[in-house]
Each structure stands twice: as structure tokens, then as C-alpha cells.
Amino acid sequence: MRFEKPVPLRQIAQLIRAELIGNSTASATGINEIHKVEEGDLAFVDHPKYYDTCINSAASFIIINKKTEFPEGKALLVVEEPFEAYLTIVDHFRPFQPSMKPVSDTAKVGEGTVIMPNAYIGNYVTIGKNCLIHPNVTILDYTVIGDNVIVQAGTVIGSDAFYYNKKTSRDVHYKKMTSCGRVVIENSVEIGAGCTIDRGVTGDTIIGTGTKMDNLVHIGHDTTVGKNCLFAGQVGIAGATTIEDNVILWGQVGVSKTLTIGEGAVVYAQSGVKDSIPGKKVYFGSPVEDAREKMKEFVWIKRIPELWEKVMGKK
């Protein structure tokens, strides 16, 4: 999440009641997760396992629960509960703002775009030219949609990330990590009926130019989908995944989190992708393998009874 203008660290430290160590005269330009941070960003870390990764990332300022060494020019904001500090910052700089109108007063809709009955367009949404938004579509806050986009009935764009934090104590339930990111849909995208596309936790979920989705497709938070991809019905993609250009996922393919599917890959129906896979190949199975090799395997499996009879018949 980018702040509207740089915010002095001293102001942030006061907001979250942190001890500020290091570059105390600097200002932060945003807050982001570790895999999305850029120079000028705040990030938070609350587990020793990830201290070094976070401190040595692109983040300029680290919200942390322990004093430790850090590179020159950066700053630590030391608090007891970094996760709670993150929630405080998001609630302060991007508070929930209900809108009771079908199209929010702060939304911008381009020339030639048609919004059909019972659609809802939230706060600070931007929709480009010549789009078609069908009935009962929900487009939530800060979503950005390009030109010539079609969204079929019942789709929800910009819902919160499925992202929770759980303490080790047994009496603490999963606690929601507030989403403050966006969905960005580029030009000439078509989205089927009943699809769900989650906003980024702090960054963007991106759907590339020319990509087409069938009905009942789910895209998780912070996922980047490339250009001219094709997703058939009931495809599910978990968070922070990268799908490169020209990828085809046939019906009911499931894709795990934080992996990459290479450019031009094709994954046959009902397959499961648990790890990154190279592009320009065809895959099948759960977990996926080269489709030709998997088909050969099925042929041999079908021959097991025949081979067993031959073996037993020789005894």
C-alpha cells in the first residue's frame, strides 16, 4: 500500500507506540509484505527466523519486536506486537469506508462503459472505456480496470485476502490480516460468471492484458497473471503466485501458493500444481508431471492385472 504522501517515521512511531532506532528523520512511502517491499517501504517481522530476510530486504524501515543490528540508513520501529502495529497503520491510513450507493461517488467510470442493474462499484474504483459489467457484479474499493473488459454476472473483484495470523496460545483464534492492496485488471480481459479475485494484502493482484477466464475461477491475493492466459471453469490459484504469459489451465486445475508457472505452459484438467514448473510444456496429474510420461504411466497401470496373471500363471 502506498501512502498518499510520505509519512514521517516519527509520526508512525507515535501512532504504533514504537521505539524508533536509526534513521529517525526519514519518511515512509508505504507499507508492504516482504515479497513486495520497495525502497521507502515499511515492513514488519515478528519471528527470529525471518529477521535477517526482512532487515536485509528492500524495505527501508522495519517494525520488529527485538532490537538487533541493521544496515546503515535504515530504521527499526521496536514494538511488542509487530502484527498489531501493522493493523494499526492500515486502519489509520486506509480505514474501512462504507458506500451505500450502487456506484460510489469516488468511483471513475470511462466513456462507453455499461454497468447493468444490481452491480456494485466501491470507493475509488477506476473502470476504463467500453467495458461491460453484468448484473450482480461486485467491484470493491481501489480496484483498477482497464478498457474493453467484460465481467459476467455474480463475479466479485477485490474481496479480502484469505490471510490470517495465529498465536501459539490455544485460546487465540486466527486473526485477520487486514487487506489494503488492490486488484488491477488490464485491457481486454474477460471474466466469467461467479469468479472471485482477491485484492493484495498490501500489494496488487494483477490480471494481464487479454486474459480470459471461464466461470467459477478463483484468483488468490497478490497473484500475478500474465497476458493472454486462458483459465477454464473451477480453476483455483492460491496467493502470491506468478502465472506467466500464454498459460492455459483447463478445468479444476489447482495451483498452490508462491510458485511460478512458466510462459506457455498447458496444464490438463483436474491437475494439481504444487511446485514451480517450466514453461512451454504440457502437464497432467496431481502433482503434475510431463503429460506424455503420465499417460504412459496410466497405460502400464491398466496392464497390471494382465501382467499379474502372466506372472502367477508361470508358477
Q: Which residues have a catalytic role annotated?
A: 221
Grid cell for residue 220 = 488468490
